[in-house]
A and B are shown apart, each in its own frame.
Chain A
Amino acid sequence: MIAFFGDIHSNLQALEACLEDAAHQGASRYVFLGDFVGYGGDPVPVLTRISQMCASGAVAVKGNHDDMAGDFDRDMNASAARAAKWTREQLSPEHRVFLDSLPLTYADADRLYVHGDASEPEKWRYVSNCDGARDSFDACSARIIVCGHVHQPAIYSLRADSQLSRFVPEPDCPVPLLKSRRWHVVLPSVGQPRDDNPLSGYALYDEATCEIAFRRIPYDIDAAASQIIKAGLPSGLASRLYRGR
């Protein structure tokens, strides 16, 4: 069983809750799909946890918020840029090295992991509709592409005659990724859900049955929100956690 975590955004409480659930569900491999930091109030412990897991075999790819060389003033809105600036001040050189060393994509059997899309990973494009998914499919040959970045879960499927469809699965309902098709999985967000559901989200994939299920996990939102306030970050970043927006 592979556990996929996307868009953690320095939310330690959400990450720990999801990791605990994944272990309980029998996950044996862990994949982190980028955006470990930004927005949230606990970048240091989150990066410590993920870098430790990567040292013992977990896989991680880089997200736009993890790109320390990036020009965040241009690419981000005001509160995201403020959080990014604060985040950079917190990180140790080791953490910066860890983030800089992350690849943009990672190929694993018939799967490709990327934060944004497969067509131009460094441009951080959103797979938020069928057109976006098609560009991503066209750019690689992986049967299954797993990404984050959107913060709203969805599954796209591509038939051999290039018909595309979109589906939003309910939590805990396994969807078989039939081998007759290609699939693009957009993960829910661990640390800042935006699909009107404040529960933290990750995915579990069973390699034997090719089934993927999204899990939604309750966590201590109060603690995560108070860390954001304590760090002096915009209060909207804390209140949105309660709304899942």
Chain B
Amino acid sequence: MRADDLETGMVIDGFTVGDLIHRGGMALLWRCTHPEIPFALLMKVPKLGEHEDPATIVSFEMEQMILPRIKGLHVPKTFGIGDFAKRPYVVMEEISGPTLLPKLKNLPLPPDEVARIGALLATALDSLHRQNVIHLDIKPSNVLFRPSGEAVLIDYGLSHHSQLPDLMAEQFRLPYGTAPYMAPEQVLGVRNYRRSDIFALGVLLYFFATAVRPFGDPQSLKGLKERLWRDPIPPRRWRNDIPAWLQEVILRCLEPNPELRYPTAAQLAFDLKNPDQIPLTARASKMRQDGWFTAMRRKNSAETYAPAKKLATQSKFASAPIIVVAVGPKSIDGPLGVALRDKLANTLDATPQARVVAMTILRDNDGPLDLNGLASSGNRHVARIVALRHWAKPLGLRDQAISFHVPEAANPAEAILEYARANHVDHIIMGARAESTIRNILGSVSAQVAAHAPCTVTVVRQREWPVFDGPQLLQDDATAKAAQ
């Protein structure tokens, strides 16, 4: 079996080989074409020589298993898999947009640009994670962009798929990955935790915002382990134009204890797209590294290594959905508001890692609140936020677990749907008022949302009881007539 004897013009399983465009450490990339496939294709071929590294074969096997199983805009589409017994290859679509590499020449990037790129990458990661794949080698050279703007993650040779045999894990004792980006638990051999990708993305964001790698590029296992106990220099110390919220996000991604990082890439994308809603903690204002004494104490404490050890023995990760609860301005203080809060509390019991967005839509035709004369739009907005905070208070949520959002919209259902789509919301909880004929004819907000939402929708309604349906009392009859 020789894999590096390809030549331009050869035809392999219907694919005509074009030019060699890249010679990497483990694989070669050739352009190729197929008469039935109307776009540009790449053939990736492993570099198998006499002194082959067993990791080359295993990582190519992993890529052959994983690539055809993931879908969507954030991965290159696979068109062919070549058998190892004859000639191993993977044929995939060529992504024609720009890569992240040219950006490296212009570091540091402005904070807004860092957040924009970060949100695109986190969205791509979320898509992978939802398909049971953990990438484990997030770095600038593994990121491309489609002409339409979406980030595409490539190179799945080190990845983990929770439903496939992990050939890498069982065969190599030393961690495989890229030194500057590897998560601390990955350094200790954990390969089944998706927050490792969030750490790597944090390294990338730090690097893009400061032009410095937070943990350098260590070449030894000892050097790699340093990130377990040595905190990086806070980004704002390098550049004082980095806003506090961006430092908050980056340092949260870089927490050595994975439990303290963002629980999902979707929640990270959410924060990067909504910087004004990020609750700031001590991370945001930190201006220098912890003292050497503190770091050494961490180095010698068993607690520092406990989270990774715990992860090594568990394979399931906690569910951490983004939940939107839509509370109507008129029902917030009534029994429906209470019912909504109870339903949210139940849901949070089952998913304590959830991120909640409490939302009230301001309609143009909503009259002034009972706030005598304070009906200007700004005041209405503030008053609704206050009302939402008050409503949520009994839940006792930490600031990081809930945020409040009061958009103005003519069509509330459309506003909720748009928000859910843009922020990868997993679950919408909303109320519906009692049944009535007019509602049935015109259609309610909740019905519209339930029909078109990209996620689970729970519609909460107060329990209704059968009402007396017989002849009306005479007295009522008389009152009714009098009213006419």
Stretch at the interface among A82-90, A168-176, A192-200, A223-231: A168-176
A159/B171 contact (C-beta < 8 A), A179-B85, A180-B88 known: yes
Question: Which residues 59-112 of A sit at the B interface, judged by CB distance below 8 A?
Answer: none
Q: Is there a chain B Cβ closer than 8 Å to A178's Cβ?
A: yes
Does the CB pair A180–B84 fall under 8 Å? yes
Would you give 15 A-B contacts (Cβ < 8 Å), ordered by A?
A: A159-B167, A160-B57, A163-B171, A165-B167, A165-B170, A165-B171, A167-B166, A176-B65, A178-B65, A179-B83, A179-B85, A180-B61, A180-B84, A180-B88, A181-B61
Chain B residues near A163 (CB-CB < 8 A): 54, 170-171
Q: A165-B171, A178-B61 are in contact. Are A155 and B165 (CB under 8 A)?
A: yes
Q: Which of A165, A179, A180 contacts B57 (CB 8 A)?
A: A180
Which of B57, B61, B164, B165 has the most chain A CB atoms inside 10 A of its CB? B165
Shortest beta-carbon distance from A111 to chain B in Å: 15
Q: Does B64 interact with chain A (Cβ within 8 Å)?
A: yes
Q: Is B148 on the interface with A (CB-CB < 8 A)? A: no
Q: Min CB distance, A176 to chain B, in Å?
A: 5
Report, nearest first, the 9 A-B pairs whose CB atoms are least far apart.
A180-B84, A165-B170, A167-B165, A173-B163, A179-B85, A163-B171, A179-B83, A176-B65, A170-B163
| Interface SS of chain A | loop
Chain A positions 153-209 with a Cβ under 8 Å from a chain B Cβ: 155, 157, 159-161, 163, 165-167, 169-170, 173, 175-176, 178-181
Known A159-B171, A161-B54, A165-B171: A178·B164 in contact at CB below 8 Å: no
**How far is A163 from B169 in the complex, measured between Cα atoms in Å?**
12
Give CA–CA (A159, B168) in the complex, Å: 12
Q: Could you give, for residues 335-373 of chain B, a 1 whenever the CB lies within 8 Å of some chain A CB and a 0 otherwise?
A: 000000000000000000000000000000000000000
CB-CB under 8 A from B64, the residues of chain A are 176, 178
With A159-B58, A160-B57, A178-B61 known, 6 other A-B pairs at CB within 8 A are: A159-B54, A163-B171, A167-B164, A176-B65, A176-B164, A179-B83
**B65 partner residues in chain A, CB cutoff 8 A:** 176, 178
Q: Which residues of chain B come closer than 8 Å to A159, judged between CB atoms?
A: 54, 57-58, 167, 171
Complex: A166 Cα to B65 Cα, angstroms = 16
Q: Provide the residues of chain A in CB contact with B61, threshold 8 Å.
A: 178, 180-181
Does B84 lie within 8 Å of A169, measured CB to CB? no
Q: How far is the CA of A179 from the CA of B84 in the complex (A)?
A: 6
**B167 x A157 contact (CB < 8 A):** yes
- Shortest C-beta distance, A222 to chain B (Å), equals 32
A166 contact set on B, CB distance < 8 A: 170
Residue in B closest to A165 when the chains form the complex, CB atoms:
B170
B window 67-104: CB within 8 A of A: 83-85, 88
The answer for the CA separation of A175 and B66 in the assembled complex, in Å, is 10
Closest residue on chain B to residue A169 by CB atoms? B163
| A226 → chain B closest CB, angstroms | 36
Residues of the B chain whose Cβ atoms lie less than 8 Å from the Cβ of A180: 57, 61, 84-85, 88
Query: Which chain A residues border B165 with CB–CB below 8 Å?
Result: 155, 157, 165, 167, 169, 175
- Cα distance, A100 to B83, chains bound together (Å): 41
What residues of B have a CB within 8 angstroms of the CB of A181 in the complex?
61
CB distance from B131 to the nearest CB of A (A): 12
A181 — nearest CB in chain B belongs to which residue?
B61
Closest to B165 in A: A167
Q: Which residue of B lies closest to A166 (CB)?
A: B170
Chain B: which residue is nearest A167 at the CB level?
A: B165
Task: List B residues 41-72 near A (Cβ within 8 Å).
Answer: 54, 57-58, 61, 64-65
CB B56 to nearest CB in A, in angstroms, measures: 12
Interface members, chain B 123-179 (any A CB < 8 Å) = 163-167, 170-171
Minimum CB–CB distance from A165 to chain B (whole Å) comes to 4
CA of A169 to CA of B161, assembled, Å? 11
Interface residues of B in 359-395 (CB under 8 A from A): none
Name A176's closest neighbour in chain B (CB-CB). Answer: B65
Q: Give Cα A178–Cα B166 distance, bound, in whole angstroms.
A: 13
